[in-house]
Amino acid sequence: MADSLYSSTISSSSSSSVSFLTLEQRVAFVFVLILFIFLGLLIVRCFRILLDPYRSMSSSTWTDHMEKDTFDYRIS
């Protein structure tokens, strides 16, 4: 009898603590969740840049740079 009373007290207290979070705890939980999502997106972006660095750079950027180098080389 005491065991069933003790187990029901534990289960009711653990379920009540989850469902009745304070406003500050909810805001902190959502903020941390958003930070983890942002961190995941940054990690994925960094790995994509590491695997194929020229895909993220526009072609006009490196072709203009190449033309400047060849023009400087022709002047010399």
Q: Would you list the domain boundaries of the chain? A: 24-76
- Give the span between the Cα atoms of 26 and 32, in whole angstroms: 10
**CA 59 and chain centroid, separation:** 28
Whose CA is closest to 17, among 28, 27, 25? 25
Q: How far apart are CA 65 and CA 46, in angstroms?
A: 24
CA distance linking residue 69 with residue 63, whole number of Å: 10
Tens digits of per-residue pLDDT, 4-59? Answer: 555 555 555 555 555 788 999 999 999 999 999 999 999 999 999 899 888 777 76
Contact 48, 56 (CB under 8 A): yes
Tell me, yes or no, if the pTM score tops 0.85.
Answer: no
